C-alpha cells in the first residue's frame, strides 16, 4: 500500500473514533461558553483608550479557535497515548504501516475536529454580529490558519503521547500548553498590558502571534505582517513537533 493510502486508513480510523465519542462534544461547547462569558464580562475593556475595536466579541473570537485547537490536540494525544497503553500500537507495528503514515494519519482526527469547531465558532461569531474586516476570503483564511494552528498543537500532543506512552499522562501535561494560551495577548492587545514581565512574556510567546494573525482578519483586514507571523509560526510549530514525534516514534515503535 502507498504511504498516502496508509495515511488515509489511519486518518479514517482517527476521524471515526473522534466523532463517535460524545465527550468530544463538550470540547465544542466549552470554548463557546468561555467566549460568551468573556466577551460580555470583558466588554468594559473596549472603553480603554487605544482598544482597537468596540466589539469585545470580535476581539476575543480568534482565541476561541485556538482553544478549540488545543482541545483537539489533547484528544489526538490522549488517543495515541491510549493506543500505546493498550498495545494497539504494537498491533499496528506488526503490519507494513510506515511510521510517517502513522503520524500523518493521527493528525486526521485532530484536523477533522478542528475544522468542525472552526466552522461552528465562525457561525456563532457571525450570528452574534461579528463582521470580518477581511470579508469572506478573510473567513476562509481564518479557518485555514486555525487548521495550521490545530496541526501544530496536535503534533505536540502526539509527541507527548509518544514520549509518555499513556493517555492519562498526556492529559495531565496539557495544562502546560494551556499556560501558553494564558500568557498571551488573548484578553488585551499587547500594547495595553500594563505589567511589564507579562507584556514581555506575551511578546515572546508564539501563541500571541497566532491569535493576532487571526484577529487581524476580523478587526483590521489584510495585515501581511500579522498573517505572515501567524502562519509562519504555526507551520514552524508543526515542523518542530512532527520532527520530535518522528524521533519519539522510532524509540517507541522499536520494531526491527
Which residues lie closer than 8 Å to 140 by C-beta, 6 or more apart?
Answer: none
From the CA atom positions of the chain, what is the Rg in Å?
A: 19
State yes or no: residue 129 binds another protein (CB under 8 A): no
DSSP reduced 3-state for 72: helix
Would you say 212 and 226 are in contact if contact means Cβ atoms under 8 Å apart?
yes
Binds another protein (CB under 8 A): choice among 26, 119, 228, 236: 26
Q: At its nearest, how many Å lie between another protein and the CB of residue 178?
A: 7
| String of contacts with another protein for each residue 202-221, x by CB under 8 A | x-------------------
Would you say 155 and 241 are in contact if contact means Cβ atoms under 8 Å apart?
yes
CA–CA gap between residue 122 and residue 32 (Å, rounded): 11
Instruction: Extract long-range pairs of 172-176: CB within 8 Å, 24+ residues apart.
Output: 174/70, 174/73, 174/74, 174/77
State yes or no: residue 127 binds another protein (CB under 8 A): no
| String of contacts with another protein for each residue 48-77, x by CB under 8 A | x-----------------------------
Grid cell digits, residue 24: 468530544
Grid cell digits, residue 128: 452574534
Of 64, 243, 85, nearest to 171 (Cα)? 85
State yes or no: residue 4 binds another protein (CB under 8 A): no
**CA torsion through residues 140, 207, 180, 53, sign:** negative
Binds another protein (CB under 8 A): choice among 5, 123, 137, 221: 5
Q: Which is nearer to another protein, 97 or 160 (CB)?
A: 97
Q: Which one of the spans 41-49, 62-70, 113-121, 228-236 is the region binding another protein (CB under 8 A)?
A: 41-49
Q: At its nearest, how many Å lie between another protein and the CB of residue 112?
A: 14
State yes or no: residue 188 binds another protein (CB under 8 A): yes
Binds another protein (CB under 8 A): choice among 62, 83, 132, 241: 83
Q: Which is nearer to another protein, 120 or 133 (CB)?
A: 120
CA–CA gap between residue 88 and residue 85 (Å, rounded): 8
- Contact footprint for another protein (CB under 8 A): 1, 5-6, 9, 13, 16-17, 20-21, 23, 26, 30, 33-34, 37-38, 40-45, 47-48, 83, 86-88, 90-97, 172, 175, 178-179, 182-183, 186-188, 192-195, 197-198, 202, 254-256
Amino acid at each position: 500500500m502507498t504511504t498516502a493510502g496508509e495515511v488515509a486508513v489511519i486518518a479514517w480510523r482517527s476521524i471515526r473514533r473522534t466523532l463517535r465519542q460524545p465527550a468530544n462534544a463538550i470540547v465544542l461547547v466549552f470554548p463557546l461558553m468561555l467566549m460568551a462569558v468573556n466577551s460580555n464580562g470583558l466588554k468594559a475593556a473596549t472603553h480603554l483608550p487605544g482598544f482597537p475595536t468596540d466589539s469585545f466579541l470580535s476581539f476575543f473570537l480568534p482565541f476561541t479557535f485556538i482553544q478549540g485547537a488545543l482541545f483537539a490536540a489533547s484528544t489526538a494525544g490522549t488517543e495515541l497515548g491510549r493506543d500505546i497503553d493498550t498495545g494497539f500500537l504494537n498491533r499496528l507495528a506488526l503490519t507494513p504501516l510506515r511510521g510517517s503514515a502513522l503520524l500523518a494519519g493521527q493528525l486526521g482526527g485532530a484536523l477533522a475536529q478542528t475544522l468542525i469547531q472552526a466552522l461552528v465558532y465562525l457561525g456563532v461569531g457571525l450570528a452574534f454580529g461579528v463582521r470580518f474586516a477581511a470579508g469572506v476570503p478573510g473567513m476562509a483564511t481564518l479557518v485555514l490558519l486555525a487548521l495550521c494552528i490545530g496541526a501544530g498543537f496536535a503534533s505536540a500532543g502526539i509527541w507527548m503521547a509518544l514520549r509518555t506512552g499513556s493517555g492519562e499522562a498526556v492529559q495531565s501535561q496539557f495544562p502546560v500548553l494551556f499556560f501558553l494560551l494564558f500568557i498571551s495577548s488573548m484578553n488585551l492587545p499587547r500594547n495595553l498590558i500594563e505589567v511589564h514581565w507579562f507584556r514581555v512574556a506575551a511578546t515572546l510567546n508564539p501563541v500571541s502571534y497566532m491569535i493576532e494573525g487571526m484577529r487581524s482578519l476580523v478587526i483590521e483586514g489584510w495585515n501581511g505582517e500579522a498573517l505572515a507571523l501567524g502562519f509562519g509560526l504555526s507551520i514552524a510549530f508543526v515542523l518542530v513537533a512532527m520532527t520530535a514525534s518522528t524521533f519519539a516514534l522510532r524509540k517507541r515503535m522499536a520494531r526491527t
